[in-house]
A and B are shown apart, each in its own frame.
Chain A
Amino acid sequence: MADYKALYQEVILDHNKKPRNYGTLEHPSHHAEGHNPLCGDHLSVALQLQGETIDQIAFHGESCAICKASASMMTAAVKGKTRADAQALTQEFLAMATGKLDLNQPNQIGRLAVFAGVRDLPTRVKCAILPWHTLQAAFNSQGTASTEA
């Protein structure tokens, strides 16, 4: 029996209540909107690249606790990282959320491991990965990301 309540650990509830980097940037170099058409969730991610380094990042939107906490922890994790490092971390996060990452092997996941439990909740995986897809859309300047793409 999967204990879904374990997924809602203190850390996720804390980030849901007090999201980090929540808001907008005045002049972002990159930004994108993310949508989950199945639940109507949306969030926008804006960032300021200084060369190849993420100097500033912010997000805002309407979403569930898992999505909001994932966005909050994502922004905290990638701030100060290079685009390449952020993209590598994104790949690891997506792999973890879909149960394809061996957490016993060396990785950069760190505190983001609290989201590993979503792999047992197929309907909620999309909530956790939406911010990361939106970050990639921002890098690629696609403008919008969707969980149904």
Chain B
Amino acid sequence: MNARLPDMTPAARATGFDVERVRADFPILQIEVEGRPLVYLDNAASSQMPQPVMDRLVRYQSTEHANIHRAVYTLSERATTAYEEARRQLQRFINAPDEREVIFTSGTTEAINLVMHGYGRKFIKAGDEIILTTLEHHSNIVPWQMLAEETGAIIRVLPINDAGELCLDEFEPLFNARTKLVGVSHVSNALGSINPIKQMIALAHRHGVPVLVDGAQAVPHLAVDVQDLDCDFYAFSGHKLCGPTGIGVLYGKAELLEKMQPFKGGGDMILSVSFEKTVYNTIPHKFEAGTPPIAAAIGLGAAVDYLSAIGMDSIAQHEHALLQYATGQLGALPGLRLIGTASNKAAVLSFTLDGIHPHDIGTLLNQDGIAVRTGHHCAQPVMTRFKVPATTRASFAFYNRMAEVDALVAGIRSVQKMFA
């Protein structure tokens, strides 16, 4: 899939990115909801799928599907080739040194659980410490609490300031001889804060501590290079990346993956099985027990190629323009409080309106065709930090237009008028 560069508007020519051309690739962006054109602003929850990815899924199911890594017939070889090609597409997308370091999981949650079971249960003991941050999604909190409960390990938490930025000064004092792992999100799902993870990884490594990065909210919005970051683990989901649901990736350094224990037992993760002794397969297959979501992996491969053809830098630039415009427009509304004002932010706007509950806002915006997320965003410690039970969150993608910011502002004004 080539980036669609010709026939650009003058504005687009300046940036090399034409949002209208991109939107034409997304059938769902053409539909109406409640009789109004869909304004989809819940991209942090899940992104939409472009036609080339759907076409790839159809082609796979129509001409290539069989089980993989098993049989000698043509179809199985085609499916295996396509699945392993998807692994290389993902490898290139995050610049992993070795394709064996790309493990397909069901999503970010499973990727983090894989590290908890494969690394944590083997190497983290009673009294050992795990550093997390207030910004983490529940999926990067709960697995570690389960491990702490099981082993007697201790969780320490790096706090955030009033802008929703990590208190970096307080990071190094959290380390001691018992620190075994750091878990940190690259981009906060609730607030959009982009964390200085490269700096944090370097600091953790000076203490000999590996770092797991939850990259679910980062990979769709900025170019990620795991070698440049030098992270030990990097987890993300396909469905936030214009790919299908049920697929995600755990990148891990080969030396760590090799010494980890398997997460799930079953077929494909073994070399030989007898009732006396089972020999596990090599990485990445050691961590991919059972028949994987083959079509979803291939679809995700197509999705990252689609994004790369547009260019992650162009995507980041357009989204930053959306963020700046939306921050100005929403910030000017009386009674609106932006939650999360980090200086380095992805295009996520979490906010509260005086006297109006987020669920009422969400229901009423839906009447205008506007899809936003309302609630605690699976980040209750963040809500607690800002002393709010819930927020309304508008999260943008590269296919959103400036006019959709205007629609959101008009929608909020109309909600405020109703409740006045």
> Mask for B361-398, Cβ within 8 A of A = 1, else 0?
00110110000001110001001000001100000000
Contact A13 B419 (CB under 8 A): yes
Chain B proximity of A147: nearest CB distance (Å): 12
The yes or no answer to A62 lying at the interface (CB within 8 A) is yes
A84 at the binding interface (Cβ < 8 Å):
no
Is B34 at the interface (CB under 8 A from chain A)? yes
How extensive is the interface on chain B, given as a class? 20 to 34
In the bound complex, CA of A40 to CA of B390 (Å): 7
- B356, B360, B363, B376: the one contacting A40 at CB < 8 Å is B376
Give the secondary structure class of B's interface: helix
**B419 near A124: Cβ-Cβ < 8 Å:** no
- Contact status A121-B383, CB under 8 Å: no
Chain A CB count within 10 A is highest, among B359, B364, B374, for B359
B-side contacts of A17, CB under 8 Å: 419
Q: Are B364 and A62 in contact (CB under 8 A)?
A: no
Interface positions, chain A 49-66, Cβ under 8 Å from B, are 62-66
A11, chain B: closest CB distance, angstroms: 13
Whether the pair A127, B34 counts as a contact (CB closer than 8 A) is: no
Within 8 A of A (CB), among B304-360: 356-360
Does A92 reach chain B (CB closer than 8 Å)?
Answer: no
Q: Which residues of A contact B418 (CB under 8 A)?
A: 5, 8, 13
| A120–B335 alpha-carbon span in the complex (Å) | 30
> Nearest-CB distance from B222 to chain A (Å)?
30
Is the Cβ of B357 less than 8 Å from the Cβ of A64?
A: yes
Q: How many of chain A's residues have a CB under 8 angstroms from any CB in B?
A: 22
Does B359 contact A8, Cβ atoms closer than 8 Å?
no
Contact flags (1/0) for A25-64 with B, using CB distance below 8 Å? 0000000000000111100000000000000000000111
With a 10 A CB-CB cut-off, give which of A7, A16, A40 has the most chain B CB atoms.
Answer: A40
- B35 contacts A by Cβ under 8 Å: yes
Q: Does more than half of chain A's interface fall in helix, strand or loop, or is it mixed?
A: mixed
CB of A62 within 8 A of CB of B35, answer no
Is B390's CB under 8 angstroms from A66's CB? no
**Residue on B nearest A1 in the bound complex, by CB:** B35
B364 proximity list for chain A (CB < 8 A) = 4-5, 8
A1 partner, pick from B34, B363, B375, B389, beta carbons under 8 A: B34
B360: chain A residues within 8 A (beta carbon): 8, 64-66
Q: Which residues of A contact B35 (CB under 8 A)?
A: 1
Across-interface contacts of B34 in A (CB, < 8 A): 1-2, 4
Q: Tell which of A3, A16, A64 touches B359, judged by Cβ atoms closer than 8 Å.
A: A64
With A39-B359, A127-B359 known to touch, is A4 a contact of B366 (CB < 8 Å)?
A: yes
29 contacts between A and B (CB under 8 A): A1-B34, A2-B34, A3-B367, A4-B34, A4-B363, A4-B367, A5-B418, A7-B363, A8-B364, A17-B419, A38-B375, A39-B358, A39-B359, A39-B389, A40-B376, A40-B383, A40-B389, A41-B357, A41-B359, A41-B389, A63-B357, A64-B358, A64-B360, A65-B360, A65-B419, A121-B363, A124-B359, A124-B363, A127-B359
Closest 6 CB pairs of A and B: A64-B357, A40-B389, A64-B359, A65-B360, A4-B367, A64-B360
Query: A residues near B, CB below 8 A?
Result: 1-5, 7-8, 13, 16-17, 38-41, 62-66, 121, 124, 127
